[in-house]
A = this chain, B = another copy of it.
C-alpha cells in the first residue's frame, strides 16, 4: 500500500481506536481569539510560531512545522514532513507543505494579502541562528518578542485541558499505588524509579516531561532517599539528589534504600501533552519523628496555600506568606532548600510544560486567575539526613482550588 493513502484512509480511525484524542476546533478557535486579543493590544500584526508546545497549543498537531498567525484571516499551518497526519490532527483549515524554509516568504505571500510589518517570535527559546535566517528571509519585517503573550494565554486552561490534566492525575494515583507494592528495603533509588516509570507508561503516561527553557531538563525519576535528599544540584529545586553521574547529577542514584529514612518521590505524569506533578513520601518501616514533624509542617503550608488561593490573589503574596508560616513552624533554615541554596518559589504553573505561569514565587506580583493550574510543593531539607515534601497539582476555580492529583496525602509506609 501507498503511505499517503494509508494515512488518508486509515489514520484517523486507527489512531482514535488506539486512544488518540484530537483537539476540538472550537478549542483551537478560542485559544486563537484570546491570543489575537493580546496581539492586537501589543500591536503585533502576525506571529510565526515554531516552539513545539506553542505550535501544538495553537494548531492541534506536533508534526514538524510552523504556524503563521495573522491578526485576521485564516492561520497557515506549514508542515515540513508528515502533512497527512497534520491534516488529521489539526482542525485548522489551511495546512500546506513547507519543503524548504526558503519558501516561507512566498507561502506567506500567497496566503495573506500582504506581508505584515511586525511579526512576533518566541525569542525566549528561538535560537539566534534561526533568528538571523528569518531576518535574511524577511528583510522588511520588524521582529518582536511575543513569547510573553503566548505564555500568558496558555496559563489559563480550558475545561478540555483540565480534563486531560485530571486524567494525568488519575494515572499518577495508579503509579504511586503500584509504588507502595514494589518498594522494598535494599532496592536502589534508580531501580525503584525505573519500575515507577514502567508502570506509568503502561497506564498511559507519555514519558517525556517538557520544560520551556534552554538547558533545563525534566525527567520523572526523582527518587531521593535519606542523605541524597539533602543534596542540591543543577536544577532550581530545593533538592536535586545525587543522580547517576556528573553528566546527569540529579534525581535517582545507585544508592540503596534503607529502612527508617525518608524516601521522597517526585514524579510527573504526562497525558496527551498535559502534565501534573506530585510528590509523596515513602518509608520502609517507621520514620523518625524529625521527618514526620517536618512532613506535617509541609502539609500545613500546603493547606494554607490552598485556602488562600483564589482568583485575584497575588502570587508573590502567597509565596511570602508561606515563608512566614515556615518560620512560625520553626523551619526557616530548612524550608525550600538548605541555607544559602533555598529556592524562591512554592509553586510553578504547569500544563504542556513544567514551568508555566503562574509562579507563586518571589518577584511574581500578579493575580491568580480562574483556570490557572499550578504544582504546589512545600519541601523541607535536612543536609546530610534527607528531605520531606508534599506536592499536588491544582486548578484555580471560581471560589478556591481543586486538586487534580487525587492521591492520599499521607506518608506511604511499607
Report the stretch among A226-234, A294-302, A317-325, A397-405 that lies at the interface.
Answer: A226-234
- Shortest distance in angstroms between A20's beta carbon and chain B's nearest beta carbon? 6
Which of A35-43, A203-211, A356-364 forms contacts with chain B?
A203-211
What is the predominant secondary structure among interface residues of chain A facing chain B?
loop
Q: Select one of B201, B245, B255, B272 contacting A21, CB under 8 A.
A: B245
Instruction: Note all chain B residues with C-beta closer than 8 A to A52.
Output: 215, 217
The 24 sampled A-B contact pairs (Cβ below 8 Å) are A1-B385, A3-B341, A14-B227, A19-B244, A20-B246, A63-B233, A81-B341, A82-B240, A85-B232, A85-B249, A89-B246, A123-B129, A127-B214, A128-B128, A128-B145, A129-B145, A190-B202, A194-B199, A194-B202, A198-B198, A206-B247, A207-B219, A208-B219, A247-B270
In this complex, the member of A7, A21, A81, A204 whose beta carbon has the largest number of chain B beta carbons within 10 angstroms is: A81
Which residue in B128, B201, B219, B235 is a CB contact (below 8 Å) of A126?
B128
Report which of B6, B89, B204 forms a contact with A244, defined as CB distance below 8 A: B204
Q: Do residues B62 and A234 form an inter-chain contact, with CB atoms below 8 A?
A: yes
**Measured between C-beta atoms, what is the minimum distance from A56 to chain B in Å?**
6
A15 interface residue (CB < 8 Å to B): yes
The answer on a CB contact under 8 Å between B19 and A247 is no
Chain B residues with Cβ under 8 A from A327's Cβ?
Answer: none
Contact in complex: A202, B191 (CB < 8 Å): yes
The 6 closest A-B pairs by CB, nearest first: A247-B273, A194-B201, A3-B338, A1-B384, A198-B198, A3-B383
Residues from chain B with a CB closer than 8 A to the CB of A128 are 121, 123-124, 126-128, 131, 145
**Is A340's CB under 8 angstroms from B124's CB?**
no
Instruction: Tell me whether A126 and B124 are in contact (CB under 8 A).
Output: no
**CB within 8 Å of B: which A4-37 residues:** 4, 6-7, 10-11, 14-15, 18-23
A227 → chain B, closest Cβ, in Å? 8
